Amino acid sequence: MIGEWFWKIADPLLLRLRSRLEHLDDVRPSTRREDALRQAGAIAPTVRLLPEGSLSNLAARDRLAIGDYTNVRGEVRVLTPDASIRIGRDCYIGPQTRIWAADGITIGDYVLIAHGVDILDHDSHSLRADQRREEARDLFERRVEIDFTHVSMRRIVIEDDVWIGAKSTILKGVHIGRGAIVSAGTMVTKDVEAFTLVAGNPMRVVRQLEP
């Protein structure tokens, strides 16, 4: 074992080499499950799919994209052939978080999403009872996916540097501006301006934030 005294007098090239080797030592080998999940979309090689995370995609492979160094511990699902989910680099998706798209969800870079967050760009079911009855038959009797033709949906956009607190809900059509913070347990049904702190149900603006 080389002592720390050696590194204090070592050549800068050796120091850079040491740093690189330590980085490689930190790289965790992928599992078969993780390799299989990566086939669901255009997943950057440096993305970490943790054991509690899952990916599902009913659209073309390139319609589910996750950028470099993002950590996925939640559930990311593209629910229809026309839907898409785009997640940027250096993001965190916490455990028990659900990001479900029937239309489209775009998440920027450096976005932190805590545990138990729901991000849903659709109503999940029709507002009409007769159509919900058919959905139930599809799911439980016919064992087929829900037909989203009668389900209301609108795209969600979450810009760079947003922080979403635990057990918040982001509903269809919402646009959250850069650097905004959504406090834990907030129900977001309308747009949030950039660098704004919001909280509550119904959501209210708490204050503006420094860029």
Say how far apart CA 211 and CA 208 lie, in whole Å: 9
Q: How many CA atoms lie within 13 A of 99 on its CB side?
A: 34
Active site residue 125: yes
Closest CA to 48 of 62, 61, 35, 59: 35
Say how far apart CA 153 and CA 161 lie, in whole Å: 25
Residue 30: count other Cβ atoms within 10 Å of its Cβ.
14
Given 23, 115, 122, 125, the catalytic residue: 125
Residues 169, 188 contacting (CB under 8 angstroms): yes
Active site residues: 125
